[in-house]
Amino acid sequence: MFHNIVMKAVLAGGTGFVGSALIEALLGRGDAVVLLTRDPARSQLRWKGRVDSRLWNGRDPGPWVMALDGADAVVNLVGENVAGARWTPERKLALIKSRIDSTRALLAAMARARQRPMVLVNASAVGYYGAAPKGECAEDAPQGSDFLSALCGQWEREARAADKLEVRAVLARFGVVLGAKGGALARMLPPFKLGLGGPLGSGLQPFPWIHIDDAVGAILFAVADARLSGPVNLTAPEARTNAQFAKALGRALRRPALLPAPEFALKLVFGEMASLLLGGQRAAPRKLLKLGYKFRQPTLDGALACLLGGRGA
């Protein structure tokens, strides 16, 4: 494990919601951070020179490859936003290529390194399990059969190539990450603040969630604990349905949350992408709990109170 030493971590996709929070945590511990980014100048300005920013387009090799030599850990969060646009054939291809191309490039760079990283934490999602409204999906649950399942499965297979390089591969299957500075919660707040929020579809679908502090904490835990490898659910231990989440968010904001979004309307607006909203899985963090990870925000009410305290007034 890494204790009381400065670690060198290489981040790809580190300018997004989760990546930015992870960089803050790493810098707060005194770790050295190398950020692979399309805009090094902007990143240098944002992080005030505390981060070593290297130019990378998320696909091709270049001088950035040298940054992986001697790194302790690589965290790959690169990927087009699955909820960013309707899933046209062109959009699906972009979602696939952004993930596969970046992962392959990172693995090729690791293969060339004289001193390879000890661990690769590669993002994935609980969408791997597909729509699973009943039962619990631990990390050994089978893969689903929809587009998002196939996307996650292909992404994870690429990352598993790290095993052949004797680099420990952790496949971080994220649930919905809740944070005050971005992500899904920021998009939900405007209608809920107006009292126009409510459950999606039937509201009975599971809502796998995790507080941003625990998303970051679990990544750092995965980097540090050599016992952790393969798929890991990054979700909170408390199970909630979509309707229960809507009610809890309304309660935190002191607003009603009674207006449902009908299934037919969501499908009309979003097409196939509506499966993101209408499906769900009770993805349990079995591995994290078994190995002793202590959740900072294990309950939804506590997490929302932490994030939204005072906003309902």
- pLDDT tens profile 38-83: 999 999 999 999 999 999 999 999 999 999 999 999 999 999 999 8
Q: Which CATH number fits domain 8-182+209-238+282-297: 3.40.50.300, 2.120.10.30, 3.40.630.30, 3.40.50.720?
A: 3.40.50.720
Q: How confident is the model at residue 106 (pLDDT cuts 50, 70, 90)?
A: very high
Q: In the predicted model, what is the mean pLDDT of residues 108-133?
A: 96
CB < 8 Å & 24+ apart, contacts of 296-299: 296/211, 296/213, 296/214, 296/217, 297/211, 297/213, 297/214, 297/236, 298/236, 298/237, 298/238, 299/236, 299/238
- Say which amino acid occupies 215: A
Give the pLDDT confidence score for residue 6 in this predicted structure: 76
Contact 312, 260 (CB under 8 A): no
Helices and strands (H, E) in the chain, number of each type: 11, 12
Closest-CA residue to 290 (of 238, 239, 225):
225
Q: How confident is the model at residue 147 (pLDDT cuts 50, 70, 90)?
A: very high
Tell me the C-alpha distance between 282 and 95, whole Å.
24
Tell me the C-alpha distance between 195 and 114, whole Å.
57
Supply the pTM of this predicted model: 0.95
Max CA-CA distance within the chain?
Answer: 58
Q: How confident is the model at residue 269 (pLDDT cuts 50, 70, 90)?
A: confident
Q: Are strands 73-76 and 8-12 parallel, antiparallel or unpaired?
A: parallel
- pLDDT tens profile 209-220: 999 999 999 999
Region label for 135, one of left (φ > 0), alpha (ψ between -120 and 50) or beta (otherwise): left
Give the count of beta carbons closer than 10 Å to the beta carbon of residue 134. 8
| Residue 163 DSSP class | G
- pLDDT tens profile 275-302: 988 999 999 999 999 999 999 999 999 9
Q: In the predicted model, what is the mean pLDDT of residues 260-287?
A: 91
Beta bridge partners of 183: 178
Domain boundaries, the chain: 8-182+209-238+282-297
Average pLDDT along the chain: 94
Q: Is the pLDDT of residue 311 over 60?
A: no
- Say which amino acid occupies 97: K
The helix (H) or strand (E) run that includes residue 53 is strand 52-55
